[in-house]
Amino acid sequence: MPNLNDILIMLPEFFLVAMACVLLITDAFMKAEERPYLHWISIATLAVSIYLVIAGQPGQAATAFGGMFVRDETAEILKVFALVTTVLVFVYSRPYLIDRKLLIGEFYTLMIFAVLGIMLLVSAGNLVSVYLGLELLSLSSYALVALNRDAVLPSEAAIKYFVLGALASGMLLYGMSMVYGASGMGGTPTLDLAQLHHVMGYTKAPTLLLFGLIFMIVGVGFKLGAAPFHMWIPDVYQGAPTPVTAFIASGSKLAAFGMAFRLLDAGMGDLSHQWQLMLAVLAVASLAIGNLVAIVQTNLKRMLAYSTISHMGYLLLGLSAANAEGYAAAMFYAICYALMSVAAFGVMLAMARAGFECEEISDLKGLGKKSPWMALLMLLTLFSLAGVPPLVGFWAKALVLEAAIHAHMMWLAIVGIVFAIIGLYYYLYVIKVMYFDQPAEGSVLQSKSDMSMRVMLSLNALGLLALGLYWGPLLGWCRHAFGI
């Protein structure tokens, strides 16, 4: 039976559930002219959740509901940055949603439920809670992609996302069932990740266990968007409303890292010699496909989609080290990538207006002359994504490469360095279009964003430079979470 301690450990999650219900009821009785208040209520909800996560964090790892929920420093860091990136998405998306008459309660409610799914997923201590958190995030994301029901492209993207997501979830669940069955060969079967870790070496069905591991890695690869499980990313990024794309590109990647860490290290850590090579192969495939295909893209959202695939390759470099240094580097990379990607989509949202989506690379022609501040923010973001020093993206790449080298995977680090150089091309091409191409006739490249959006976007992009110059505290926080 749950007790007061369980509820206190999960207080941020219970608060989000309560506020999501309040938003649903409030939206039902609000007049149309009062709906903008939902925006500020939602931001206040996330701000209070950040406070509850930080202020209520126990000194040592604590569990609730029989070990199904784990509250530790790893979960705390991922939750804080998932909530922060969602706040940024809310701030950036307001003018876009107003222009397209999409400032509705469903957007904010679904986003809060998606964040709740992230928080459950990164704190999962049981295979069941992993799946529950994943499905809460996924189902909310499917609905968010199809938010603009009057347009064809979002509905098509949502159907593709749903079908492929259901397939990946089924394979993950199938893998979990195999692992559960194998854990009972020689003892009592268990779904608890900590107990699974202990029985890995004693199972009498190693083949069944290995097949289960493979299916689980397929599920992890899909959520990360790693090749060859990346086929949903370009279509969903392009088809979804830009605020939703920004969330999927940032918050959900933090969730995917948390899911990978919980399943592979907490649950299957004794099989690291088996899954290390699998992750390394996925990393190489992601780096190759992501960087090479991004070069030929003309749509900015699709280019950033393939860029995401390549960045997930670098994140897998850290995970494939299978040690505390690698996990800390991978988490640092996931956080930095979330901040970089939300800034890139934030600039697109700032430039968009009714009838102009700012989704093609050619739409940015002459941005350096017509809106120099926005061009500077985009330049900083793209340079950070490319890994140009002294921006934080450089240190993120350097740390995962260092982790791979220390794990005696020099060949993998060399592959990462080669594709980092190749990846420079498409980021520099966008910068060239912004600063050296002439704007098209009748081009409207003036930012229409409100003051709150301008301030937050400026802090976001300039923060990439500040973190690049002073990245030690964030890395120290990540290292401390893994006992380094």
CA nearest to 147, candidates 243, 241, 232:
241
Quick one: pLDDT at residue 397? 95
The helix (H) or strand (E) run that includes residue 52 is helix 36-55
For 361-411, give the secondary structure using H, E and C.
HHHHCCHHHHCHHHHHHHHHHHHHHHCCCCCHHHHHHHHHHHHHHHCCCHH
Q: Indicate the number of domains in the chain.
A: 1
| Torsion angle of C-alpha atoms 51, 55, 56, 58, degrees rounded to 10 | 140
Domain residues for the domain of 20 are 4-481
CA–CA dist 227, 377 (Å, integer): 30
The 10 Å CB-count burial string (b at 16+, else e) for 318-347 is bbbbbbebbbbbbbbbbbbbbbbbbbbbbb
Beta bridge partners of 41: none
* Nearest alpha carbon to residue 325 among 274, 420, 401, 213: 401
Task: List the pLDDT tens digit at each of the 484 positions of the chain.
Answer: 667 888 888 999 999 999 999 999 988 888 877 788 898 999 999 999 999 999 877 778 888 888 899 998 999 999 999 999 999 999 999 988 888 888 888 999 999 999 999 999 999 989 999 999 999 999 999 999 998 887 888 889 999 999 999 999 999 999 999 888 888 776 678 888 888 877 776 666 678 888 888 899 998 898 888 888 888 999 999 999 999 999 999 989 999 999 999 998 887 867 778 888 899 999 999 999 999 999 999 999 999 999 999 999 999 999 999 899 999 999 999 999 999 999 999 999 988 876 677 888 888 888 888 888 999 999 999 999 999 989 999 999 999 999 999 999 999 999 999 999 999 999 999 999 999 988 765 555 555 567 888 899 999 999 999 999 999 999 999 999 998 8
